[in-house]
Structure 1
Amino acid sequence: MYCRVRIGKKGGYGLERILEIENISLQFGGVKALDNVTYHINKGEIFSLIGPNGAGKTSMLNCISGLYHPTSGSILYKGKDITKMKPYERTSLGIARAFQNIALFAHMSVLDNLKLGKHSLMKSGVFSGGLYIGKASKEEIEHRQKVEEVIEFLELQDIRHTPVGTLPYGLQKRVEVGRALALRPELILLDEPMAGMNNAEKELMSRFILDMHEMMDTTVVLIEHDLGVVMSLSDHIAVLDFGKRIGFGTPKEIQQNPDVIKAYIGEETVM
């Protein structure tokens, strides 16, 4: 249903690591959310992070995006240690995040939500009252063009001026992804972008993920509970259980991993 054909890109798969997670642990009091987790993500792939509820998946994305700072271990992005960097510093390097729980401004339009995300990267000064002058005016025009490209890419043209809070849930999730995509990241983190969607909406979101990966040359990190989606879209998968990594490899390797089968997939659902 979500069949993809892997086509060699610049450099091919697996020749360049964009993200390296090294011995990451995260502790809240006496609770270990992550326990000595290690894996890497190659540039230009779709990488999925799966596991049972409470396994530590979202905590891991929070560490990558900078919302949490790990108790120990390191995170390298394109060879640079970003472990202690703040979220906005990571965004400026090319990392963007879409959240599991929709974090949009409900009273604002689709267009304004996307523009707001893009404006976080503006480098030029802004005059009082939101008036863009000089270099800021030119930069605003460039940002608006990129936002328009995202609107077209995600097929949001007909609802561009609609308040987000009036949209169906599936469209709101698409706008949430669009706000992250408007930052034109090299690495995008998608936390359950298909949660609560019907099959038709999942099909559409799967196509968008494939297109952002193939057409925009964006590396995708995906948390998703639908194993059909995960196995069809992913180049590599890491599996967490109680904060520990219990599997890492290609979809085929994960499907045959006895620890993963026992903890998460189950004998009857192996594909």
Structure 2
Amino acid sequence: MNNMLTIENLSLQFGGVKALNDVSFHIEEGEIFSLIGPNGAGKTSMLNCISGLYQPTKGSMKFQNQEILTMKPYNRTGLGIARAFQNIALFAHMSVLDNLKLGRHIHMKSGLFAGGLYWGAAQKEEVEHRHAVEEVIEFLEMQDIRNVPVGTLSYGLQKRVEVGRALALNPKMILLDEPMAGMNSSEKEDMARYIIDMHETKGMTVVLIEHDMGVIMDLSDHIAVLDFGKLIGFGTPEEIQNNPEVIKAYLGEEEAG
């Protein structure tokens, strides 16, 4: 299997604070990959580096063998990297449908002047984008809330719309930062099913941050473990569960009886 993303010796520093310290790992194409670690370990900082919101201090980051370390966020989106945020960043007064349509903006090519001589091309493009959005609505089972203002929805449904907006970009790799946070057990089961379908049906590479270790161990092909900005473990779920350093720092040890 080919590497989708290769990170080598990546460091991120804010003044005297090292958020990430010489981190290296790779993510294989088409897998479900998870980042875990205690609060403040650097997980979201890593996603911010991958999506382009943060500029690492040093290191290398290659997406499908192309160096993207200094690339702008919208250029990374154009390559096929999409992001759903931990803190919901939706337009509360707008409908689910309109929020998802906004997620397609990076693929719009006809521009602001499409209403003139290029109306035909723009109209065709609008139909194509609407079709892509409808696929996301069907995929995430949001038909009943398509025209509902996002701000009136439950937190769990808003998280689903946040993931949907990233899916609307039709990414090769989707970054999900705690997509199940604040959800009840039923909503978590639904989200887990959607993540599996992204992987198996759509063939996407999924990068996941999640605190529910049961979910992580069930879904992940490989896991990277961060602690105080350093990589302390990398491997399959079984390898991570049996890694002494990871057990000591994060998973916890069973007390001797």
Kindly state the Cα deviation for residue 79 of structure 1 after the two structures are TM-superposed: 0.1
- 2:110 matched to 1:117? no
Q: Is the 8 A contact 2:7 2:25 kept in 1?
A: yes
Q: Is the 8 A contact 2:114 2:121 kept in 1?
A: no
Q: Which amino acid counterpart does residue 125 of structure 1 have in structure 2?
A: G
Runs of 4+, deviation exceeding 3 Å: 127-130
Secondary structure, aligned partner of 1:267: coil
Q: Is the 8 A contact 2:5 2:62 kept in 1?
A: yes
Query: In the alignment, which of 129, 132, 135 is matched to residue 146 of structure 1?
Result: 132
Aligned-residue Cα RMSD (Å) equals 1.6
TM-score normalised by structure 2 residue count? 0.96
Instruction: Please give the per-residue CA displacement for 1:203-237, whole angstroms capped at 9, x wherever unaligned.
Output: 00000000011111100000000000000000000
- 2:43 matched to 1:57? yes
- 2:135 matched to 1:172? no
Q: Which amino acid counterpart does residue 176 of structure 2 have in structure 1?
A: L
Match of 1:137 in 2: 123
Question: In 1, distance between residues paired with 2:162 and 2:125?
Answer: 23
Query: In the alignment, which of 199, 214, 228 is matched to residue 213 of structure 1?
Result: 199
Question: In 1, distance between residues paired with 2:28 and 2:114?
Answer: 43
Match of 1:158 in 2: 144
Question: In 2, distance between residues paired with 1:110 and 1:120?
Answer: 18
Query: In the alignment, which of 230, 241, 244 is matched to residue 255 of structure 1?
Result: 241
Kindly state the Cα deviation for residue 202 of structure 1 after the two structures are TM-superposed: 0.6
- 2:82 matched to 1:96? yes
Match of 2:15 in 1: 29
Match of 2:189 in 1: 203
TM-score normalised by structure 1 residue count? 0.92
Secondary structure, aligned partner of 1:134: helix
Kindly state the Cα deviation for residue 129 of structure 1 after the two structures are TM-superposed: 8.4
Kindly state the Cα deviation for residue 120 of structure 1 after the two structures are TM-superposed: 2.5
Q: Which amino acid counterpart does residue 212 of structure 1 have in structure 2?
A: M
- Counting aligned pairs with the same residue, the percent is 76
Instruction: Please give the per-residue CA displacement for 1:104-132, whole angstroms capped at 9, x wherever unaligned.
Output: 000000000000011222112233889x8
Structure 2 alignment gaps of length 5 or more? none
The number of aligned residues is 255
Q: Is the 8 A contact 1:126 1:133 kept in 2?
A: no
Question: In 2, distance between residues paired with 1:251 and 1:120?
Answer: 35
Match of 2:3 in 1: 17
What is the correspondence of 1:80-91 to structure 2 with a 5 Å cutoff? Answer: 80-91=66-77
Q: Which amino acid counterpart does residue 50 of structure 2 have in structure 1?
A: I
Kindly state the Cα deviation for residue 199 of structure 1 after the two structures are TM-superposed: 1.0
Kindly state the Cα deviation for residue 184 of structure 1 after the two structures are TM-superposed: 0.4
Question: In 2, distance between residues paired with 1:226 and 1:170?
Answer: 16
Kindly state the Cα deviation for residue 87 of structure 1 after the two structures are TM-superposed: 0.4
Q: Is the 8 A contact 2:78 2:106 kept in 1?
A: no
Question: In 2, distance between residues paired with 1:254 and 1:91?
Answer: 31
Q: Which amino acid counterpart does residue 14 of structure 2 have in structure 1?
A: F
Secondary structure, aligned partner of 1:120: helix
Question: In 2, distance between residues paired with 1:115 and 1:20?
Answer: 31
Instruction: Please give the per-residue CA displacement for 1:14-37, whole angstroms capped at 9, x wherever unaligned.
Output: x20000011000000000000000
Q: Is the 8 A contact 1:108 1:163 kept in 2?
A: yes
Q: Is the 8 A contact 1:69 1:83 kept in 2?
A: yes
Q: Which amino acid counterpart does residue 123 of structure 2 have in structure 1?
A: S
Structure 1 alignment gaps of length 5 or more? 1-14
Q: Is the 8 A contact 1:237 1:250 kept in 2?
A: yes
